[in-house]
Amino acid sequence: MLIKFNNDATKLAVIGSPIEHSLSPLMQNFMIEKLGLNYIYLPFHVEKGNATKFLKCCDVMGIKGFNVTMPHKEDIFSSVSKLHGDAIKSHSVNTANFKDGEWHGYSTDSEGFNLSINEHNIYLNDKNILVLGAGGAARAVVLSATNNGAKNICILNRNLEKANEICKGIENIRINNFTYENITNEFKKADIIINTTPMGMSGVKEDFLNFDFMDSTKKVVCDLIYNPRETNFLKYAKEKGHFTINGLSMLIYQGILSLEIFTDTKIDKIEMKKYVMDFIN
């Protein structure tokens, strides 16, 4: 994509390690152009441990806001002066915005996930939710489930301490080991199943060892991975007759929500999502 910009354009950024694969610069610059805004959005490879240093340099570089991806979400959570909404609940920041002389921290991941399922008329309220994995993405999904009145949540993860951390303050949640026996049992009980592990992602060697755990009662099966658009997890779920959703819509919605914060504008999310989808898909 060829980006046109003025020298006085307001600078936005995304930081991460790795950052080369990120779709955010393409997506955000497309939306900026579509909305006719005088902004430019740039990627920065920032090594683990350097996120706070980056934030401190933003003033000098004229960067007014930035998105935060792996592995910096917790570091930026600790570095901003004011935290808002889901950032407080999820203990992580994916959107840092400089306003009125200080840095504000937000998290748009869980609302992004919720919008990505709502567009298919799927809602988390009163549902039994199974979450595979217990990293940052799982935290966002669990927050979405609690914010939206899920009936029961189950997390399966290798590292139970990490899963336990997510459960703090939540009553209707339980955890167990990530074993194929447990996945099979919990899959049966769930209405919505979400893979938040990177298994099956492009560039990741590991994948599920088998998909025998997927029974055939119709369920909603989500994978937060968007590259490839259809992981083996989703492919097999579709073959079994489940309704499948990949991570692309979540990515786009969290980006639109961030851009609303950076630019203090209201964006028609459904319309913008369609434009972005056509552009990057």
**Catalytic residue ranges:** 73
Q: Does 16 bind ligand NAP (CB under 6 A)?
A: no
State yes or no: residue 77 binds ligand NAP (CB under 6 A).
no
As measured in angstroms, the least distance from the Cβ of 64 to ligand NAP is: 23
Among the listed ranges 76-84, 222-230, 231-239, 260-268, the one in contact with ligand NAP (CB under 6 A) is: 222-230
Indicate whether 124 belongs to the interface with ligand NAP (CB under 6 A): no
Residue from 55, 117, 250, 259 in contact with ligand NAP (CB under 6 A): 250
| Rounded CA separation 115/276 (Å) | 15
30, 226, 233, 262: residue in contact with ligand NAP (rule CB under 6 A): 226
Q: What tokens were used for 136?
A: 């940052």
Q: Is 107 helix (H, G, I), strand (E, B) or coil?
A: coil
- Which residue's structure tokens are 């991460």? 16
* CA angle (112 as vertex; 201, 177 as ends), nearest 5: 50
Token pair of 129 as six digits: 């939710």
DSSP alpha helices (H): ranges in 209-247? 232-239
Q: Does 247 bind ligand NAP (CB under 6 A)?
A: yes
Least separation in angstroms between CB 14 and ligand NAP? 12
| 134 near ligand NAP, judged by CB under 6 A | yes
Residue 179 interacts with ligand NAP (CB under 6 A): yes or no: no
Segment near ligand NAP (CB under 6 A); pick from 27-35, 54-62, 85-93, 157-165: 157-165
Asked if 162 is part of the footprint of ligand NAP (rule: CB under 6 A), the reply reads yes
Q: Which two structure tokens, joined as six digits, stand for 142?
A: 């669990």
Rounded to 5 degrees, what are φ and ψ at 139? -60, -45
- Judged by CB under 6 A, the residue of 68, 90, 136, 236 near ligand NAP is 136
Q: What is the closest distance, in whole angstroms, from the C-beta atom of residue 265 to ligand NAP in the complex?
A: 21
Cis ω on the peptide bond leading into residue 71 (within 30° of 0)? yes
DSSP one-letter string for 137-200: HHHHHHHHHHHTT-SEEEEEES-HHHHHHHHTT-SSEEEEE--HHHHHHHHHH-SEEEE-S-TT
Give the residues lining the site for ligand NAP (CB under 6 A): 70, 109, 133-138, 157-159, 162, 178, 196-199, 201, 206, 224-226, 247, 250-251, 254
